[in-house]
Structure 1
Amino acid sequence: MNANLAAKLINSYQTPAIRHLAWLCQTPQLLHSPITIDPAHYLPPNYPGLLKCWDQKPETAPLLLSEPPQRRLGFYFERLYQVLLNDLLGWPILLKNQQIQSNGRTIGELDFVVHNLIDDRIEHHEIAIKFYLGVPASDGPTFWYGPNARDRLDIKTTSLLEQQSQRTQRPETLALLSEFNIAGPLTPRVFMPGYLFYPTNEQVQTPAYVPDGHLRGSWMYITDAKALDTSHWVVLNKPHWIGNWYQTDPPDTTHTQDALERVEHRAVPQLFAMMQKDPATENWLEINRVFVVPQAWPGANRLASK
């Protein structure tokens, strides 16, 4: 499914959680590896019809979709992924967020252990949803920082591939799995969708392991944003970082200006969607998204470059 068709399908759902789930089913990832899993490869062709039924008749939808979103985006993302596995794919979840203990202390956690019914194998899925801003460097590679600058794409990728996804090879994990009559080690799979945000006025390097078709946005400093016409911007708050945003009302310029003032005076990055009116539906649709950051970003809190 091409990007325009996918966005049109996602925007056809009225329920935010359904839109977020539909986005999850088709979104590209930030990581290409032999162990990445593409849910779209396994989804039945009629799944959009099931989503439409849930959207029109909320009482038929999984209860997880009607619960209020958690404050942390990662927890909400996990909930959506659980619905994808259980209710769209029909794969039994054998373990979820199972802690691994060694000598009385926690040494890790398994996100999901599932039975892939199509390939008929038990798999260990590690998942994450991430948003990174590229910071150019005069000497050396570009570093891609999370909005709080305490997370970095290269570090997270290494952790997923070399540590988190390999946990079922540890003797402590094998012993844990045997308690649930699960024979390990399991087939590791990783799923990491998200966005890379590119600086508006500088060139940066995209890591070789990031697929060409990844989702993109832009980022700029607050002084640059305040010099622009932002009348078509809207504030994007979690959990609406997931999926394409649309609304029936025109953008609220006062709300946008207040958010820009918070970026400047509270030194907290803020995500915005750039909107365009669709003449066919008269709805306002997201056409791009931009992070606005304080002048001092990424600042002293960022992870060391080496």
Structure 2
Amino acid sequence: MDANLTPEPINSYQTPAIRHLAWLCQAPQLMRSPITFDPTQYLPSNYSEILKDWDQKPEAAPPLLSDPPQRKLGFYFERLYQVLLEDLLGWPILLKNQQIKSARRTIGELDFVVHNRTDDRIEHHEIAIKFYLGVPESNGPTLWYGPNASDRLDLKTSRLLEQQSRRTQLPETIELLLESDITGPLTPRIFMPGYLFYPDNPQARTPDYVPDRHLRGRWMYILDAKTLDTSHWAVLNKPHWIGTWLQSEPPDAEHTLDALERVENKAAPQLFAVMREDRQTGNWLETDRVFVVPEAWPLRP
């Protein structure tokens, strides 16, 4: 892609799936590595025009974009990534979600094996979309937990680099690839966009391996959130954690208060978008995002 090309603002697209795909094309990643995959190095210079055409004429868009979005964010993210590879980059997908077995036992899975036509090589892509909340430790580094606290950024990064991206080196995988006439070695690539959410106080430390331009949000405990004016907040549910949110109607303050009550009563974190009105269009646009968590978080019940 032309490095001087300025992409269309994500909120210029009216179709949610197109906005999500546009975000995926541009989003910075949560880890820095020589094998990180950057779509902007390969996207055609007119990709914004392609997205705009799909937005205005849904019948011309790839069928995967018209399917109802799945609430399981990982599956929906995979679907968007497939459109990026096949329909924007024009790279054939040779294998997708291919299980690796040893003695009838599943020992892993390959997310995508693709033919990078630009560089004319076969690549193995491992992908994830992640949202982590930083919890400063009194005598150690900040730990970055997923909302349900069962996942951590340092553990996921290590697993991607040391296990998942190396699966094509396993004898079982080499045999599996040969069955599909794919010979190695394959070039490993990792794609992991997402957000880091910072507490207001104390200061959380960003890991050295996270790029400076990563996407940021805030997090707070429910009792702190209940002291604020949240009338301009909007509840964000999956799959709309992807991209930036916009809506034509003003935020529903009662809906937000109900969601805050659920956080307190059901002990489940909830993501919100902080909204402001765009005077030119009349739409309400996301300016920040906030995770609100139960008082006991990150302890799991």
What TM-score, normalized by structure 2, do the two folds share? 0.97
The aligned residue for residue 123 of structure 1 is: 123
User: How big is each residue's C-alpha offset from its partner over 1:199-244, in whole Å with a ceiling of 9 and x where there is no partner?
Assistant: 0121111100000000000000000000000011000000000001
- The answer to whether 1:162 aligns with 2:162 is yes
* Mapped contact 2:277–2:284 kept (Cα < 8 A): yes
Q: Percent identity?
A: 75
Distance 1:300 1:19 in 2: 34
> Aligned partners of 1:89, 1:33: CA distance in 2, in Å?
22
Q: Tell me what 1:44 maps to.
A: 44
Q: Does 1:186 align with 2:169?
A: no
Map 1:79-94 → 2, pairs under 5 A: 79-94=79-94
Task: Compute the displacement of 1:300 (Å).
Answer: 3.8
Cα distance, 1:71 vs structure 2: 2.2
Aligned-residue offset at 1:185: 2.7
| SS of residue matched to 1:286 | strand
| 3-state SS of paired residue (1:219) | strand
Provide the rounded CA distance (Å) in 2 between the counterparts of 1:300 and 1:232.
Answer: 30
- Corresponding residue of 1:24: 24
Alignment match, 2:202: 202
3-state SS of 1:166 partner: helix
Q: Does 1:74 align with 2:74?
A: yes
Partner of residue 304, structure 1: none
Distance 2:277 2:55 in 1: 23
Cα distance in structure 2, aligned partners of 1:70 and 1:284: 24
Q: Is the 8 A contact 2:148 2:300 kept in 1?
A: no
TM-score scaled by length of structure 1: 0.95
Partner Cα separation in structure 2 for residue 26 and residue 62 of structure 1: 19
* Counterpart secondary structure, 1:11: helix
1:163 maps to amino acid: Q
* Structure 2: gaps spanning 5 or more residues: none
The amino acid of 2:248's aligned partner reads: T
**CA deviations over 1:36-77 (Å, ceiling 9, x no partner):** 000011000101111111111111110100111122100000
Q: Which moved more, 1:272-281 or 1:124-133?
A: 272-281
The match for 1:267 is 267
* Aligned residue in 2 for 1:140: 140
Tell me if the contact between 2:95 and 2:114 (Cα under 8 Å) persists in the aligned partners: yes
| Number of residue pairs the alignment of both structures matches | 298
- Give the CA RMSD over aligned residues: 1.3
8 Å Cα contact 2:142/2:205 also seen in 1: yes
Displacement over 4 Å in runs of 4+:
none
